[in-house]
Structure 1
Amino acid sequence: MESPSGYAIKINFNGAYNGHNFRLTLGIIARNVEGRVLISCLEIHDGVSTVFSVEALTCHWAVQMGLEMGWSEVTVEGDSLAIIKKCQTHNPNKSQIGAHIQDIQQLKD
């Protein structure tokens, strides 16, 4: 994992889904420009209904963490390019994860 360039903080997120148990496991780590770990977390959430929600929910929690920590210059990075691109636009999203995308867009604005 690289240190952030051009931003004070970089938050990386990743999620894994167990469809048999409807369980999401998420990991989030935030680093400063020197690459020092500022915060990391691993959480397990039950009741996640679809695999499509996993990366969107994990991205949402990463953005929320940045806000709660009070960081003003943040870049968020994850494995799902589709989620990142959807969050960068303001176009309405009518997919299964549209509500999660809208929540992320509202948080970042």
Structure 2
Amino acid sequence: MFSSVQGKVFNQAKSSIEEYKQAQSIQNLCPAREQTNRGLVRWIAPRGGVVKINWDAAFDPKNKKIEAGVIVRDNEGKVLVALSMPKLQVSSLAFAEANALWGALKLGAELGISPAFFEGDVLGIIKAINNSAENWEWKWNGQKVEDIKVLLANRPFWKVQHNYR
């Protein structure tokens, strides 16, 4: 039986997941986004003691709005935390994805999660993050990329990796 506090947290998480699903339903494609048959892609649990944090963003170019979501799961697939991050006045999906990853990393840092795998479906941003060379490209919000690299440098047990959509 849930306590009233647990019930509120559960309802907020459920609401966040629904908002995340709604964001996913927006079918705007980004050339940098890797696509594959969804029927072939399955969530794979991390090894014991490791948390997996997935993030994604959807972009509405007409209204310059994004919906970004983060979901944190344990090694059994149990949802620990979910976060929805709507934003206005965003210029592109690539920019939105960089900000969604930033939100996922900040959430992991605030919750003290370690070790963790961070998974997303935009190979370009993941390559930029994992490349040791500086990246100031406007496309990926270069300052955000460099901020993410600094955050990751201080967390050796975090890994950012690609997973097909």
Residue 18 of structure 1 is matched in structure 2 by 60
The separation in 1 between residues aligned to 2:49 and 2:60, in whole angstroms, is: 34
Is 1:99–2:143 an aligned residue pair? Answer: yes
Q: CA RMSD in A?
A: 1.4
Bigger share in strand: 1
So what's the TM-score if we normalise by structure 2? 0.62
Q: 4+ residue stretches of structure 1 with deviation over 4 A? A: none
The separation in 1 between residues aligned to 2:60 and 2:89, in whole angstroms, is: 10
Report how many residues are paired: 109
Residue 85 of structure 1 is matched in structure 2 by 127
Name the SS for the 2:44 alignment partner.
Answer: coil
**Is the radius of gyration larger for structure 1 or structure 2?**
2
Instruction: Tell which has more relative contact order, 1 or 2 (C-alpha 8 A, sep 6+).
Output: 1
So what's the TM-score if we normalise by structure 1? 0.91
The separation in 1 between residues aligned to 2:49 and 2:66, in whole angstroms, is: 29
Larger displacement relative to structure 2 (51-60 or 1-10): 1-10
The separation in 1 between residues aligned to 2:69 and 2:135, in whole angstroms, is: 25
Q: Deviations over 1:64-105 (max 9, x none)?
A: 111111012011000101111111122111211211111111
Q: Does the 8 Å CA contact 1:4/1:31 hold for their aligned counterparts?
A: no
Report the CA distance between 1:59 and its aligned residue. 0.7
The counterpart of 1:30, out of the listed 64, 72, 76, is 72
